Amino acid sequence: MYSHQPGNVAPPKNSSESSTPVESDSKHGTNPATTNGYQDTMPKSTTALTPSLSPATRLKHKLQHNKDLIVCPGVYDGLSARIAQTVGFETMYMTGAGSTASMLGMADLGVASRNDMVTNADMIANLDPHHCELIADMDTGYGGPLTVTKTVNQYIRANVAAFHIEDQVLAKRCGHLSGKKVVPTDIYLSRIRAARAAIDLAQSDIQLIARTDANQQHGYDECIARLKAARDLGADIGIFEGFKSKEEAVNAVKELAPWPLLLNIVENGHSPLITVDEARQMGFRIMIFSFAGVIPAYMAIKNVYEKLKYQGVTGIQGCGVGPKELFDICGLQEAMEVDEVAGGADFKSV
């Protein structure tokens, strides 16, 4: 994994973090710490990861010690996340577009607030934090350096494993809509600096993903320049959003190697479709399918509602999924076990 100097920002002299000497973990650029009851430092070996490690530490370990491609479905609420876990995904991606549509019923035009996104990420990340890692959209960071810092700290406390922050203007839009505008490079890099400094001060392993949307407005070379600058400031991973061709994707991986890149797939969007096998061959390290949950959900729900409207039935009778089966996906058995361990009998029979 690409090695960087962690932030170049020292904690204040009166900081409680700096008042007690802590042995530095120079290999990984962080100091030993714990977050939310989890061990938040890298294991000294590449043996099996344990649930005692934070989701951020587990993801960091996978990126450093496992060269395979990490494939993540896009999730946007508790049910979609539960389904992804049931299928067997260990790493998921909380899509900003899907979250905005699901929580607010609105288009992804920068209307989701910091609190909206933090609340959703917190809920999803903690459904099963011992075994699953969540990569979350952080949009533009929602303001200047102070706001970026506050948001990063909230994502850390929420057990988010990684987040991406981008260079669009505050009145942003989905990366696969036309008319995108990005901020000047110095403002973008101030977001990266603030995020890196917040992570280092918190002594967290949360992975900082620098995203650029500059391709539509400024072209390929500007994207590479911005990502290289973000990398040099300590971003752990990069996203080149909105590839115009597969050749651009291949070249970006080569130009930025060995720094890991994340590939965002949006079917029917502005970029060519790249398969998992192709992304693996190209050398991407993480692959997210942002609309893999929300669009199929829209199609299925619309189909049932149309049947109800025009035929007077839903068509789901006999499908094999009733309330009990749905609740099983949503942790019914685990909830029953919690009640039983505590000596309760309220849910012994459901």
Pairwise CA distance, residues 28 & 5, whole Å: 9
pLDDT at 145: 97
Q: Let me know: does 93 contact 73? Beta carbons within 8 Å.
A: yes
pLDDT at 13: 35
**pTM score, two decimals?**
0.86
Lowest mean pLDDT among 188-192, 230-234, 337-341: 337-341
179-194 pLDDT, tens per residue? 999 999 999 999 999 9
DSSP states of 202-257: HT--PEEEEEE-THHHH-HHHHHHHHHHHHHTT-SEEEE---SSHHHHHHHHHHHT
Q: Let me know: does 285 contact 261? Beta carbons within 8 Å.
A: yes
SS3 303: helix
57-99 pLDDT, tens per residue? 999 999 999 989 999 999 999 999 999 999 999 999 999 999 9
Pairwise CA distance, residues 134 & 55, whole Å: 8
- Phi first, then psi, for residue 211 (nearest 5°) are -115, 140
Quote the percentage of the chain above a pLDDT of 90: 83
